[in-house]
Structure 1
Amino acid sequence: MQENLNRPASEHHDSDAAHLASLGYESEFKRDMSPWANFSLGFTYLSPVVGVYTVFAYALAQGGPPMIWSLIICGLGQLLVALVFSEIVAQFPVAGGVYPWARRLWGRKYAWMTGWVYLIALFVTIASVVYGAGPFLAQILGFKESVDSTIICAIIIIALSTIINFLGTKALSAAALIGFTAEIIGALAVGGWLLITQRHHGLSVLFDSFGAQGSHNYFYAFAAAGLIGTFLYFGFEACGDVAEEVPNPGVLIPKAMRRTIYIGGAAATFVCLALVLSVADIPAVIAGKDASPVDTLLKDAFGVVGAKIVLGIVLISFISCAISLQAAASRLAYSYGRDDMIIGSRFLKKFSSARHIPPYSLLLAAIVPAIIVLGSKVSTDALTKIISFASLGIYIGFQMVVLAALRARLKGWKPSGKYQLGKWGLPVNIGALVYGIIAIINMCWPRTPDAPWFDNYIVLVSGVVVIVVGILYMMIHRSYGHSNMPYNDAIPKNVQNERNDISM
């Protein structure tokens, strides 16, 4: 009886190993991550509580209450991206996410640049999350708010995140599930209590800009406020970063990606709705008189003690977000190292057979963000400039994969994994690319005309700097040519040969 119960799982493991072997790899990871843990990893990376609490004041000040509709628009746009990724990961369930996907869809140079941009973005995002969490931890510990206390608390969070990741896939899964539970409780409990006790407006306020656009067309104000949606909806790709740690990844990871969008988006929208309807003086926020409406609301609704409890929930969300980000970054670095694609590969590809984790890749995902955080001691302004690249880099990495998928489709690629879009594949792929380009333009758009040109174009400039540095590295070191692992194999060879014959 017990043998029969265990057989399906063992058959899945054998099938997963055979599929991976057909792609040229023999995994050292343990497939210990359950479907809900995989979803929770993506959810805590997306982190609706962190995203909304961090950007809410800016979005409300820029566009007024209608900014909430950007959560719906961006959610639909990123769902298209998630669907494209689902087809890719189902066919190529390899650890590392965007780098191995771009490698199989296009080639080594393109994959190297995709992974480079995304890896830098992940390091910067980890730094921004732990730095943003620093003040929350400082308040709970009773530290006086300062740059030093924020740095100390941020380093503590990086250390905690690293320790949990070093414990292995099961510990990572448990941390993700705890983070998911905390976020859902935080979203429902805080949002529900605000709606019951602090509500000052009806739903009609969601269509009232309160003059946030000033003398300009409201479209410009909404585009600026819409960054709350743009910044929120990524994290689902983390489900695919750990593809070698999930049983039956071709089926389970696409489901986890979609759940991340559905449930994460619903939670974020609910929290945002509760906050909008509970802000008593919206014009004061728009005018800049109330720069921290979330803090004001929490203190009014929960009192000093209650507000600290809520801050604790928010802090758990920040920590679980950092853990998931670090896991994603380490798997990407390991994937690079395993393919001998970057300097230091002999360390990055080392694997702990006892813990079933890549230790040096994890250390890299701790040391680089810590260095970025420590840089704020020299210049907080410099840290702000570095962090400005975070979301742009992630979107560029996404869209490089989406573009590679579209190119491969037009060259004859027919997804052969367990998840397929069929006839909808091409229109979904085009829609995902169009959305991504619009989102990137919106992020780069200069919105501070009175600031020096460098600050006005800081997001664009930071993106150009990262890409140029990557190109220079490729020209000097040529790491992309060191690997003989498969690449550009999504398009069947017979299709490529047929095209060559026709052209001849």
Structure 2
Amino acid sequence: MTTLAPSDDHPSPPTSDDPLLTEFGYRQELHRSLGRYASFAAGFSFISVLTTVFQFFAVGFGFGGPVFFWTWPAVLVGQLLVAACFAELAARYPLSGAIYQWSSRLATPAFGWFAGWIMVIGQIVVVAAAALALQMVLPPLWSGFQLLGGDPAPTSPSGAANAAVLGVLLLALTTLVNLLDNRVMSLINRVGVTAEIIGAVLIVVLLLTHAERSPGITLHTGSAGQSGLLAALLTGSLTAAYVLIGFDSAGEMSEETRDPRRTSPRTILTALGAAGLLGGLLVLGGILAAPSLTDGRLATDGLSYVLTSSLGDGIGRALLADVAIAIAVATLAIQTAACRMLFSMARDGVLPGSRQLSRVSPRTGMPTGPALVVGALAALLLLLNFASPDAFLAIGTTCIVLLYLAYAMVTGPMLLRRLRGQYAGAGADGTDEAGRPLFSLGRWGLPVNALALLYGLVMTVNLAWPRATVYDPAGGHWYFQWFTVLFLAGTVAAGAGYRRWRQPRGTSAAEQVTKAPSPAA
């Protein structure tokens, strides 16, 4: 556990007889009521292929053309490598605030703090980006959802402004749910994920049975307008990179999951695997079933255009309603994950207002302070959409880069420990409380870990690269072109400033904290 020197914000010391959390110096405050499917749903609903594919299909196709489909399996393989490393850690550290907890124990408390800080800021941005996705489905579902202006396209001024309004309304709803009992939250999540899986399978089947062309079209790059295959793949990979994140949420919910050492590793991998398969088929089906690949509609309206044009207005609208449900549940799940990260850091006394943020309602088992903070900050981010339609892409890219960087701040220290012989892949004794073997990569741990880190760093640079044609296509908004880099720099600077302000005079950062045992060999 990471513990600051005594302060007014530091929560009271743990007093628990729960053996799982006592091992790490914490008390059981969150209600441990989630089963295996609920844990799977936490990871799957964060990824939410219906939300994210519908939201970013147009972006991927617009920059990559049909060939952007091949970025999907490439990103999926890379993320599976990362997920395998996370699954191993989830078995050893079944704690809320997974990225923060894992990085702190693999590296130093200060390094772990920055990983957690970057992760929670990224999660808040993801909440805002997910809420914006309603604009892709509600106006096509019914024109009455276009509350502002007449053009529903997210790239238009009226569409961008309307997306912000719909997003704020959704955030108010998800914040309310995050103040209720975690069993209510879990029920909504499970029902929503079930509806999303059924809807995704149905959409895939209908799209593939209404195909207008053969899969060979995915080898075509001409319609993308890019200078070669590599450029098309690098920019088109934004879609897959945005979709296939958040699988670690199953680990975020570990303190509310029954038998987490066994459940969380498996649900991290199955959530990513299931989402990766369904999402890839959705992308392929959309390309094959689109009425036209050259009329520009796919690059602006995305899959919503394909559903209503190819499957008929009635079926298309019914499926869009299912997508809207998936978006709402995804926003809820992402906000919940961000709340758990804030709670985990706050109970260690390392955030502003830690006392308030670490409070858990004994009745509901929910940390109420983080829900209000995450909802309010995400809503403020949505106001950027009133400034320019380009904010949509800037917000989406920023959240991906922040999460990818936070992931690398776990896989990096993990690899260093392996290389130094200080990481025991099988854990302290290799078994859980019931005597069953913990999830372990065994002899594959080193190569998988190395490839996971390499992939994460390459993708972080690729996504953060300030391409004017991508982030400021109309010109005149240099701050959107550099938005991701500036936001990341500001996040790190704000974190460093806060830590320096909180550090007592004459005390080094290393002296402020004590760290729980690392997974030494």
**What does residue 256 of structure 1 align with?**
267
Stretch moving more, 340-349 or 48-57: 48-57
Distance 2:398 2:405 in 1: 10
1:475 aligns with 2:477: no
Distance 1:187 1:399 in 2: 30
Contact 1:236 1:257 in 2 (8 A): yes
**What does residue 201 of structure 1 align with?**
213
**What does residue 357 of structure 2 align with?**
348
The offset of 1:143, in angstroms, is 3.3
> CA distance change for structure 1 residues 23 and 38 in 2, over 3 Å: closer, same or farther?
same
Question: What's the CA shift string for 1:131-162, capped at 9, x where partnerless?
Answer: 22256445548233425643442222112212
Question: In structure 1, what residue type is equivalent to 2:219?
Answer: F
> CA distance change for structure 1 residues 293 and 410 in 2, over 3 Å: closer, same or farther?
closer
> CA distance change for structure 1 residues 42 and 105 in 2, over 3 Å: closer, same or farther?
same
The offset of 1:250, in angstroms, is 1.1
1:179 aligns with 2:179: no
Distance 1:484 1:390 in 2: 30
The offset of 1:202, in angstroms, is 1.1
> CA distance change for structure 1 residues 335 and 227 in 2, over 3 Å: closer, same or farther?
same
**What does residue 410 of structure 2 align with?**
401
Question: What's the CA shift string for 1:358-379, capped at 9, x where partnerless?
Answer: 1112221212112222454466
**What does residue 143 of structure 1 align with?**
145
Q: Could you tell me which of 440, 443, 449 is aligned with 1:423?
A: 443
1:414 aligns with 2:427: no
Contact 2:127 2:334 in 1 (8 A): yes
**What does residue 59 of structure 1 align with?**
60
The offset of 1:307, in angstroms, is 3.0
Distance 1:289 1:152 in 2: 24
Contact 1:57 1:292 in 2 (8 A): yes
Question: What's the CA shift string for 1:292-325, capped at 9, x where partnerless?
Answer: 2423322223444433322211111111111110
The offset of 1:222, in angstroms, is 1.3
**What does residue 39 of structure 2 align with?**
38
Contact 1:71 1:269 in 2 (8 A): yes
Question: What's the CA shift string for 1:450-504, capped at 9, x where partnerless?
Answer: 7465443332232222222222222222399699775262154xx7xxxxxxxxx
**What does residue 230 of structure 2 align with?**
219
Distance 1:445 1:360 in 2: 35
Distance 1:185 1:291 in 2: 26
Contact 1:107 1:488 in 2 (8 A): no
- Residue aligned with 1:284, SS: coil
**What does residue 323 of structure 1 align with?**
332
1:441 aligns with 2:461: yes
The offset of 1:71, in angstroms, is 1.1
Distance 2:485 2:400 in 1: 11
Q: Could you tell me which of 262, 273, 289 is aligned with 1:278?
A: 289
Distance 2:377 2:146 in 1: 26
1:363 aligns with 2:372: yes
Question: In structure 2, what residue type is equivalent to 1:424?
Answer: W
Contact 2:137 2:304 in 1 (8 A): no
1:163 aligns with 2:173: no
Question: In structure 2, what residue type is equivalent to 1:463?
Answer: L
Distance 2:192 2:387 in 1: 32
> CA distance change for structure 1 residues 399 and 485 in 2, over 3 Å: closer, same or farther?
same
> CA distance change for structure 1 residues 199 and 394 in 2, over 3 Å: closer, same or farther?
same
Distance 2:390 2:172 in 1: 24
Distance 1:373 1:61 in 2: 23
Distance 2:46 2:312 in 1: 29
**What does residue 498 of structure 1 align with?**
none
**What does residue 240 of structure 1 align with?**
251
Stretch moving more, 77-86 or 441-450: 441-450
> CA distance change for structure 1 residues 440 and 101 in 2, over 3 Å: closer, same or farther?
same
> CA distance change for structure 1 residues 427 and 301 in 2, over 3 Å: closer, same or farther?
same
TM-score w.r.t. structure 1 length?
Answer: 0.88
Distance 1:275 1:100 in 2: 39
> CA distance change for structure 1 residues 237 and 90 in 2, over 3 Å: closer, same or farther?
same
**What does residue 50 of structure 2 align with?**
49
**What does residue 23 of structure 1 align with?**
24
TM-score w.r.t. structure 2 length?
Answer: 0.85
Question: In structure 2, what residue type is equivalent to 1:461?
Answer: L
Distance 1:318 1:413 in 2: 39
Q: Could you tell me which of 173, 190, 195 is aligned with 2:203?
A: 190
> CA distance change for structure 1 residues 255 and 54 in 2, over 3 Å: closer, same or farther?
same
The offset of 1:408, in angstroms, is 2.5
Question: How do 1:68-87 and structure 2 match up within 5 A?
Answer: 68-87=69-88
Question: How do 1:384-399 and structure 2 match up within 5 A?
Answer: 385-399=394-408
Question: In structure 2, what residue type is equivalent to 1:314?
Answer: V
The offset of 1:52, in angstroms, is 1.3
Distance 1:193 1:467 in 2: 46
The offset of 1:290, in angstroms, is 5.8
Across the aligned residues of Structure 1 and Structure 2, the Cα RMSD in angstroms comes to 2.6
The offset of 1:59, in angstroms, is 1.5
Contact 2:97 2:341 in 1 (8 A): yes
- Residue aligned with 2:201, SS: helix
Question: In structure 2, what residue type is equivalent to 1:368?
Answer: L
Contact 1:210 1:283 in 2 (8 A): no
1:432 aligns with 2:433: no
Contact 2:43 2:250 in 1 (8 A): yes
Q: Could you tell me which of 379, 382, 397 is aligned with 1:373?
A: 382
Residues matched between the structures, number: 475
Stretch moving more, 135-144 or 75-84: 135-144
Question: In structure 2, what residue type is equivalent to 1:212?
Answer: A
Q: Where in structure 2 are there 5+ consecutive unaligned residues?
A: 1-15, 149-157, 431-437
Question: What's the CA shift string for 1:179-213, capped at 9, x where partnerless?
Answer: 211221221112212222x3110122122223535
